[in-house]
């Protein structure tokens, strides 16, 4: 009886080990466009493995990848992309702009388990390159960053269901644009840019007021303090209403500072209370 129990225990252990090894080999790591397209196109084979409950089975990036043309996900397909700290870029339009890498027609889950990863320029959800819409398409963003530097586009354009529960979204004009369907944003998500259409936004979402280079600031005071410590020519992009109040000074180490409105909501005012100081520029503009 003891021998039988030992054999059964051994068989169970070996089966568990073999399952663990199989699960590990299911991880798909991509280093270039060809490998990414092959992994995504194999949804019919890998679809059962690329589920939300199977975190180790995501398609993971092992290097930055730049596409030469957009990719349309399969209708009804399941995709989990882990950026792993790398960048996914659409085809280059010019030195600073890229095409949309993804036109999602299935279920696309985006995450970045290491931090620093991003997608440029944006994601279309529920829409394809022929202009056909897919109301069943689903996009979920768990972490990472999606950016769009196209003045006419948006970082995420939705025609289906988009749920943003983590990470950051940044657009030169629009960060989010909901054309149809539903779009929700959870607490803690950072948004830089306009929000167009009906979007459900939690009270804990962090909206960027100003940006200098790649640094974003939730308040104008923080941005001005950072600018005053910089050198050379400084450009501050304004996304919301900002106000010069008593005690604020344009008196930094920079050579010049320029303010650029990047949103229809951008507005700059000077507010002086009774007995307070006016804005002091110290000869710098």
Q: What is the mean pLDDT of residues 43-49?
A: 41
CB 151 within 8 A of CB 122: no
Specify the range with the lowest mean pLDDT, choosing from 67-71, 118-122, 163-167, 278-282: 278-282
DSSP for 119-159, written as a single string: EET-EEESB-TTS-B-TT-EEEE-SSEEEE--TT-EEEEES
Q: Are 155 and 170 in contact, with CB atoms under 8 Å apart?
A: yes
What is the pLDDT at residue 201? 94
Cα angle 273, 275, 279; round to 5 = 65
pLDDT of residue 283: 37
DSSP string over 166-198: SSEEEEEEEEEEESSSEEEE-TT-EEEEEEESS
Over 90: is that where the pLDDT of 6 sits?
no
pLDDT band at 11 (very low <50, low <70, confident <90, very high): very low
Question: Does the global pTM surpass 0.85?
Answer: no
How much is the pLDDT for 272? 58
What mean pLDDT is reported for the chain?
80
Adjacent-strand bridge partners of 125: 104, 158
pLDDT tens per residue, range 135-162: 999 999 999 999 987 766 799 999 999 9
Assign residue 266 a region: left if phi > 0, alpha if psi is -120 to 50, beta otherwise?
A: beta
**Where is mean pLDDT largest: 16-30, 124-138, 248-262?**
124-138
Rounded Cα distance between 190 and 80, Å, is 22
């Amino acid at each position: 009886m003891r021998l039988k129990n030992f054999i059964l225990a051994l068989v169970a252990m070996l089966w568990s080990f073999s399952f663990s090894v199989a699960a590990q080999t299911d991880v798909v790591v991509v280093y270039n466009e060809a490998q990414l397209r092959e992994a995504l196109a194999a949804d019919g084979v890998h679809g059962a493995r690329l589920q939300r409950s199977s975190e180790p089975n995501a398609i993971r990036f092992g290097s930055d990848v730049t596409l030469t043309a957009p990719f349309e996900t399969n209708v009804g397909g399941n995709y989990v992309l882990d950026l792993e700290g790398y960048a996914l870029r659409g085809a280059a339009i010019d030195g600073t702009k890229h095409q949309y890498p993804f036109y999602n027609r299935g279920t696309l889950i985006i995450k970045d388990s290491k931090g620093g990863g991003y997608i440029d320029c944006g994601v279309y959800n529920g829409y394809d390159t022929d202009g056909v819409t897919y109301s069943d398409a689903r996009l979920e963003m768990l972490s990472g960053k999606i950016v769009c530097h196209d003045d006419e586009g948006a970082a995420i354009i939705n025609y289906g269901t988009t749920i943003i529960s983590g990470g950051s979204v940044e657009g030169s004009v629009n960060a989010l644009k909901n054309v149809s369907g539903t779009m929700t944003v959870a607490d803690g998500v950072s948004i830089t840019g306009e929000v167009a259409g009906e979007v459900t936004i939690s009270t804990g979402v962090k909206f960027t007021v100003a940006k200098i280079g790649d640094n974003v600031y939730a308040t104008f005071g923080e941005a001005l303090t950072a600018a005053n410590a910089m050198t050379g020519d400084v450009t501050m992009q304004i996304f919301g209403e900002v106000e010069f109040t008593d005690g604020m000074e344009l008196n930094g180490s920079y050579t010049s500072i320029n303010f650029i409105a990047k949103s229809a909501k951008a507005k700059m005012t000077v507010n002086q209370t009774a007995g307070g100081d006016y804005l002091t520029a110290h000869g710098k503009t």
